[in-house]
Copies of this chain bind each other. A is one copy, B any other.
Amino acid sequence: MFKYKATFAYEGTRYAGWQIQPNGLGIQEVIQNKLKIFLKEKIDLTAAGRTDAGVHARAQTAHFSVVEKLDLFRFKHSLNALLPHDIRLIELVEVPLDFHARYSAKGKIYSYHLRLAPLQDPFNRQYTWHIPQASFSLDLMREASLLFLGEHDFKGFASESHRGVASRDSVRTMKRLTITSGEVTILEFEADGFLYKMVRNIVGTLVDIGRGQLLINNIVQTFERKDRRIAGQAAPAHALFLEKVLY
C-alpha cells in the first residue's frame, strides 16, 4: 500500500463545491472519475476540508492510497491531460501511511478579494467582491480586523449548523489577519482551523463595518453572545480562495 498527498488548484466557478453532490458537479467527483480512467480502480480522495460552491483553491490537498507505487511524473502529466482546464494537479508526493489530509493539518490559509472602487474590473470580476461605496473606510475595517486575532470561540461567526455544538469544538486561533490594499484589496486569514462559513461571515461583518452599516461593537457582541444575527451577512463565495493547507 502506498499513500500520496495531491495538491490541487481549481477555479470553483463551475462547481457545486469540493464534495460529491447530489445536485451539481463536485470537484472531488471530477478528479476521481479521471483517476479511475487511467488507474483502472476506484480511488477515494480525502481532502483537508470541503470548499463551498463557487469557492476557489490555489492549493487544496487530498490524500489517497493505491496498491502499486506510482510514477509521479507520469501520473501528474496523465491526470492533468484528462482534467478540465479549471482544475490542475500542481503537486504530488508520497507520504507515510499515517498521514491524513485533514487530521494531520496544522492550519489553513484563506484569502478574500475585494474590489473597492466605483467600477468593477471586467477581468477580475469572477474573483472579487465589488464594493462600490466611495465612503468605504479601510481604516475602520483594519481596526475591526484586530478583534479576530488570537484564540476565540468563533461560533457566532460560523454557519447556523454550529449552533448547539459544544464550545470546545468551535474555539479556533486566528494567527494572522492581514489586509493588503491595492487594485484588489486582499484579506488573508491564517488559523489552526476554520468553522463552516467562518471566513465569509467575518469578511461580511468587516465589510459592513467599513461601509458604516455595523459597529465594531457588533463583533464584541457576536463573540459574547455567540449569535450570528448580530454579525454581518456572509460575503459571496466567488471571492474566497483556499490558499494553503499547513502541515
Task: Give A residues with C-beta under 8 Å from B.
Answer: 9-11, 56, 58, 80, 85-88, 90, 119-123, 125, 127
Contacts and interface: CB of A to CB of B under 8 A. Distances in A.
Contact of A56 (B58, B87, B88, B123): B123
A122 B80 contact: no
A167 B128 CA distance: 47
A240 B98 CA distance: 48
A7 to B, nearest CB: 11
A119 B80 contact: yes
Contact of A122 (B10, B122, B123, B125): B10
B11 A120 contact: no
Nearest to A10: B122
11 contacts: A9-B121, A10-B122, A11-B122, A80-B119, A85-B122, A85-B125, A86-B122, A86-B125, A87-B122, A88-B121, A90-B119
Contacts of A56: 123
A88 B119 contact: yes
Contact of A120 (B85, B122, B123): B85
Given A80-B119, A85-B120, 19 more contacts: A9-B121, A9-B122, A9-B123, A10-B122, A11-B122, A11-B123, A56-B123, A58-B123, A85-B122, A85-B125, A86-B122, A86-B125, A87-B122, A88-B119, A88-B120, A88-B121, A88-B122, A90-B119, A123-B127
